[in-house]
Amino acid sequence: MKFANKTSTPINALHADVRRLLKKYKCEYELHEVRALFMGAIASPMDQVNPLQELKSLWNGQLPAFESMDAINELMQVFAMGLWNQLSAHCDPGHPFELTTPIAINNNKDLKLYSKIKHDEIECFFTGFFQGQDKIKLLPEISESLDVLEDVSDMFAATAAMPTKPGAKDLPISNFAEKLKQLGMIAQREINIIVVSAAQTRRQGGSPSRTLH
């Protein structure tokens, strides 16, 4: 199985391909979750992390059935050589990772959906980062950022789970929406601290980069 060294596909087109293949192979994950899961895995201190392993995790540990070798190559090109490498570039502090830009917030339903998307992203980042381990020895700055992320995730989860009573008026949307967006920026900042710190630690330890060649 041969791959090009790196993808030159524009990000929007790459994301469209990811969405198409997730739908084609009936994956339970959405693009925003896959991006966060891969980003967490790329930042993870666990040595066994590799893109094929993370790709399999999208289908509960086993790749879906393929009709041909071309179909296998397409999946690997899009997810491993494409999305994985595109995300690995965020280990450079000059190219920070950005969480998905969700829908506009105009009402309570939008508030809850926005919060669910952000909660999903943070939790998927955790899943990729911890690789099923309960405890990992980490640098203090990474531990602190993980603690902040956990608190932010809890806030988003609480907002997403707010009960909606029939006939109830919407909350003051503009103020609440702005606070949620600020939480999203905090989450993004802490994720980038983790990603960059982890990459620097690997370089200092002589460990290989997480870019697939």
CATH number of the domain where residue 151 is located: 1.20.120.740
* pLDDT at residue 166 greater than cutoff 70: no
| Cβ pair 121, 100 in contact under 8 A | yes
| Cβ pair 81, 48 in contact under 8 A | no
- Residue 209 inside a domain? The answer is no
- Residue 195 inside a domain? The answer is yes
- What pLDDT is attached to residue 204? 82
More confident residue, 132 or 28: 28
- What pLDDT is attached to residue 124? 97
* pLDDT at residue 5 greater than cutoff 50: no
- 3-class secondary structure for the chain? CCCCCCCCCCHHHHHHHHHHHHHHCCCCCCHHHHHHHHHHHHHCCCCCCCHHHHHHHCCCCCCCCCCCHHHHHHHHHHHHHHHHHHHHHHHCCCCCCCCCCCCCCCCHHHHHHHHHHHHHHHHHHHHHHHCCCCCCCCCHHHHHHHHHHHHHHHHHHHHHCCCCCCCCCCCCHHHHHHHHHHHHHHHHHHHHHHHHHHHHHHHHCCCCCCCCC
* pLDDT at residue 74 greater than cutoff 90: yes
- Residue 59 inside a domain? The answer is yes
- What pLDDT is attached to residue 132? 87
When divided into structural domains, the chain yields a total of 1
- Residue 179 inside a domain? The answer is yes
| Predicted confidence (pLDDT) per residue in 97-120, tens digit | 999 877 788 888 888 999 999 999
- Residue 5 inside a domain? The answer is no
Q: State the residue range of the domain holding 123.
A: 11-204
- What pLDDT is attached to residue 101? 78
Whole-structure pTM value: 0.88
- What pLDDT is attached to residue 2? 35
- Residue 89 inside a domain? The answer is yes
Residues 6+ apart with CB under 8 A from 80: 3, 51, 52, 55, 212
- What pLDDT is attached to residue 168? 59
- Residue 188 inside a domain? The answer is yes
- Residue 73 inside a domain? The answer is yes
| Predicted confidence (pLDDT) per residue in 188-204, tens digit | 999 999 999 999 988 88
- What pLDDT is attached to residue 10? 82
